[in-house]
Structure 1
Amino acid sequence: MLWSFVASFFVGFGASVAVPNVPEIPGRIVYNIFMSFGTFSLVFILTFFFLTRRTIGYLLRLSEGLEAIAGGDLGYRFPAVREDELGRIAGNINAMAEKLELQIEKERRSEQSKMELITGVSHDLRTPLTSMIGYLELLTAKGYRDESEYDRFVGNAYNKALQLKELIDDLFEYTRLTSHDAKLRLMTVDLNELLGQIEAEFQPLARERGISVETSLPRTPLPMKLDPDKIRRAIDNLLMNALKFSLKPGVVRISLAARDGGGRRTAEIRIENDGRPITREQEERLFERFYKADDSRESSSARGGAGLGLSIARSIARLHGGDIRLRHADGHYDFRIELPAGGASAAEQPESGGYVR
């Protein structure tokens, strides 16, 4: 149909410009016109195909890649070989696939974390409970030889009960701190004085286990707006961690300093001790809930916990708008609590009617 229209057009055109007294265009001229048009069309098609074949091929690759991603292969990536619109489309598809992959990985880790939470809670609660039941069964069956053994069984059962209570308290505290409605009771506190009180209470425990305590505190007050109970809990957890894993005899160092940098003023609390080295992987996981780098590093005289102490300490610091970081090298542990001088972050407002002055 197209060729008929083209032929009619050229025949009509030829008739309109025909030489006078020539009734029609000779067949040879019509043939030449058709040949010229056919040649032009063939050259145009070949040129168009040559110029667009790479684009068409890339479009086909885009289509195949989208099918692969839709089929679940989120690791598929388009090569960055173009800088035009198609290249930008490929880059956007790569970014989309990467985000989807990260989201799925995040959900997988969240599910795995829930399972680890259940496993960790079950294990850490069952261990002291089993011991308590064993001692109580012996006491009920009068399976003790004398009064001294009776007292020892009662004492062991009591200690296991305290351990169980401590584990439950840690779990409750961690759950409360990581919930979205966690609140702080902010008040203006001299952090220097608070740290001095904590150090004085820590001294007898450290002395019993062959650990000496060295402090380096500023001579002037360092007023901070914070929740003193929670900050005390965070520092206590770090000190008990240092006590458990320090080499005996050893030294735990406590220091406090005000820092200015990055356009803001912060307070930095450092707790240092020397213990057995850990791997890089263990170091990266040290603040994970229920994670214990190496139970064999722990002193036999120190009661094991649920692996929540460092997680709780970091959660408290972050509620205040700060953080806790560890610098470890060859068994030297340097925990640093960084707190903003302005108090809690904007997202963490004091409770209504809280103890704020």
Structure 2
Amino acid sequence: MKYKITRKLVLYFTSVILLFSLVVGGAFLLLFTRHTEEIYRADMQERAEAIAAGVADYLEDGSPALDEVAFAAKGNAIGKQTGNNALFAQGGATGTTGRNNVNGYNAYITAIQDIAMGEVWIVDQSAETISVGTGKKEITYGELPGAALALVDEVFEGDVAFSEGFSPLLEDTSITVGAPVLSAEGEVIAAVLLHDYIANMQTAVRSGLSTLGISAAVALIAAIGIAFLLAKRFIEPLQRMEETTQQLADNHYEAQTGISQNDEMGSLAANIDILADKLAEAEQASAKLDKMRKDFITSISHELRTPVTVIRGSLEALNDHVVEDPAKIDEYHQQMLTESIHLERMINDLLELSRLQNPDYQMEMSSLNFVDVVENAIRSVRYIAREKGITLTFSKELLSFMMMGDYTRLRQMLLAVMENAVKFSAEKGEIRITLTALDAGCRLAVTDNGPGIAEKDQPYIFEKFFKSNEESNKQGTGLGLAVAKQIADRHGIVLSVESQPGKGSTFLFDLKQ
């Protein structure tokens, strides 16, 4: 897991950085190149205009005009070329003047080129030559390409113009800006052409791209480092969760991740811990259910054994003619009938309890008056109570208490408790039934004068097959109160008992409105 996640994170981060670098690099190359060119052109224009202004000042200060300089340059050339021929005097004079004028003008052009950090040409529209600075050959208009001539014409119209048409003359790709030289009257008297090579601008672009490349490389290295750190941060809790889930798979439900993070990883770990707790509770419930199942089988086996044994023994005695006295035979028949009735009742109670414990079992709920149910149950129990001379008294504070319930099941619940009270009450005793009003409901109390229930037995009297007094309850199945408790729970009724040995018992039914 560790290395797979690490590889994935490194791959993801590297891919993102590379994609980002390509997109940003492409945009940077386009925008930065344009921006650099704009800055470069603006800077050249500023320099050219400054040179043009300087040339205008130079000419206005009494320095020779450009046509004079050009004429002097011609005279100088003629003086050198003619020597002692007929034109020597004119050439010599012209040469002398040329040397004086050209030397001063060339010095000025050289100073301008040094300051302008580029090659400077100064063009007079009426001249036949172009001043190209010291050490450069003179160039005539005829040598200029068409694009260069267009630039010169545009400048002499008073505009600042750019062109790359001078590149063939400069023997390399270059950019030229032309600025007009204006006289005091505002007329264009010359043009300043400032040349600079494209390579200089490309050097700046390459420098920017180099910086971007270095930044991308640093970012890539940082991304790989961050990927390793994040992988470690992710892997540690994942490994702990993997170990915990493995322990859960091995039925060690006490395992916990011990992770506390305020994020999705922490939420997942918390859910795993909750799952572990639920599995532990489920294991305990399963163990408890398994114990209850075993206890149930043991209890029902014990409860069924007695009537089956009695019935079988009686049948064997009758079948083997061990008993021949008609009175004894009738006694055996009566005993078998009693045990079979007891067995049938036990089976019915078990089936009833099984249905009530099934969550899918639906009762027939309807609106009813609980007081009517109590009075109906009391009328049924009176017949049983008369056999023991027991008196039933019923006092009520309410004439009506409406609720949603299953009439038959509620009557069955009350009968189970009241019959139990009759069973454990002494002959000619008294059972008091009272219905009192509460703030949010009512309470029904059934009190007998029986032997009471030991305190240690009270928590178990509503469990299956529990018998608090075996001698007084030989015919009991131990299921009546368990059935009553299930019916009470289904109706939201709280069924409880209060009892003291020798002082009788009181069963309480608390109902809420």
Residue matched to 1:313: 484
- Letter of the 2:347 partner, please give it: I
**Partner amino acid, structure 2, of 1:236:** L
| Residues 243-273 of structure 1: per-residue CA shift (max 9 Å, x gap) | 4445778643322234442xxxx44322234
How many residues of Structure 1 are paired with residues of Structure 2 in the alignment? 288
Q: Structure 2 counterpart of 1:276, which letter?
A: I
Q: Name the counterpart of 1:149.
A: 328
- Cα distance, 1:131 vs. partner? 0.7
Aligned partner of 1:255 in structure 2 is: 434
Shift of 1:79: 6.4
Q: Is the 8 A contact 1:246 1:275 kept in 2?
A: no
Residue number in structure 2 paired with 1:13? none
SS at match of 2:476: coil
Picking from 472, 495, 498, the partner of 1:328 is: 498
| Alpha-carbon distance between aligned partners in 2 of 1:124 and 1:219, rounded to the nearest angstrom | 42
CA displacement, residues 297-350 of structure 1 (integer Å, 9 cap, x when unaligned): 42635443332212211222233x323421435446443334455xxxxxxxxx
The one-letter code matched in structure 1 to 2:315 is: L
Unpaired runs of 5+ residues, structure 2, are 1-228
Distance in 1, matches of 2:393 and 2:431, equals 6
Q: How far 1:223 sits from its partner (Å)?
A: 4.6
Report SS of the residue matched to 1:287: coil
Bigger drift between 322-331 and 303-312 goes to: 322-331
In the alignment, does 2:446 pair up with 1:271? yes
Q: Higher mean Cα deviation, 330-339 or 157-166? A: 330-339
Question: Which of 332, 344, 350 is the aligned partner of 1:165?
Answer: 344
1:172–1:93 Cα change, 3 Å: closer
Tell me which of 286, 295, 319 is aligned to 1:140. Answer: 319
Encode CA deviations 1:106-135: one digit per residue, 9 max, x unaligned.
223333333333333333223212211212
Residues 209-247 of structure 1 show CA distances to partners (whole Å, capped at 9, x for unaligned) of: 575534322362445443322211111111233344457
Alignment counterpart, residue 461 of structure 2, candidates 281, 286, 289: 286
Q: Indicate conservation of the 8 Å contact 1:317/1:339, yes or no.
A: no
1:313 counterpart letter in structure 2 = A
Structure 2 counterpart SS, 1:117? helix
Matched residue type, 2:496: L
1:31 aligned residue? none
Which amino acid in structure 1 is aligned with residue 475 of structure 2?
G
| Contact 1:326–1:333 under 8 Å retained in 2 | no
Q: Corresponding residue for 2:69?
A: none
Structure-1 separation of matches of 2:493 and 2:388: 29
In structure 2, the partner of 1:18 is: none
Matched residue type, 2:291: Q
Distance, in Å, in 2 between the alignment partners of 1:330 and 1:119 is 30
The 1-side partners of 2:401 and 2:245 are apart by 59
Counterpart Cα distance in 2 of 1:63 and 1:227: 51
Q: Could you tell me how far 1:159 is from its partner in structure 2?
A: 0.9
More displaced 10-residue stretch of structure 1: 230-239 or 62-71: 62-71
2:395 maps to 216
- What is the DSSP-based 3-state SS (H/G/I as helix, E as strand, rest coil) of the residue aligned with 1:256? strand
**Identity of matched residues, %:** 26
- What is the aligned partner in structure 2 of residue 8 from structure 1? none
SS at match of 2:432: strand
Cα distance change of structure 1 residues 66 and 186 upon mapping to structure 2, 3 Å threshold:
closer
Distance, in Å, in 1 between the alignment partners of 2:506 and 2:402 is 24
Q: 2:276 aligns with which of 81, 90, 97?
A: 97
2:302 equivalent in structure 1: 123
Q: Which whole-Å CA distance do the structure 2 matches of 1:185 and 1:163 have between them? A: 31
Is contact 1:326-1:336 (8 Å) kept? Answer: yes
2:507 partner SS: strand
Q: Give the RMSD, CA atoms, in angstroms.
A: 4.2
The alignment partner of 1:169 has SS state of helix
Q: 1:71 to 1:161 in 2, by over 3 A?
A: closer
* Unaligned segments of structure 1, at least 5 residues: 1-48, 50-54, 342-357
Counterpart of 2:357, as a letter, is T
Q: Secondary structure at the match of 1:304?
A: coil
> Do the aligned partners of residues 87 and 268 (structure 1) sit closer, same or farther apart at CA in structure 2, a change above 3 Å counting?
same
Letter in 2 for 1:95: I
What code does the residue aligned with 1:323 have? I
Cα pair distance change 1:186/1:329, threshold 3 Å: same
Which residue does 1:238 correspond to in 2? 417
Q: Secondary structure at the match of 1:242?
A: helix
Cα offset, 1:101, TM superposition: 0.5
Aligned partners of 1:302, 1:70: CA distance in 2, in Å? Answer: 49
1:184 aligns with 2:355: no
The TM-score with structure 1 as length reference comes to 0.63
SS at match of 2:495: strand
Aligned residue for 2:475, secondary structure, equals coil
Corresponding residue of 1:337: 509
Q: Secondary structure at the match of 2:310?
A: helix
Is contact 1:238–1:310 with CA below 8 Å preserved after alignment? yes
Check the 8 A contact 1:176/1:182 in 2, yes or no.
no
Name the one with the larger helix percent: 2
Q: How far 1:166 moved relative to its partner?
A: 0.7
Task: For residue 275 of structure 1, report the CA deviation from its aligned partner.
Answer: 0.4
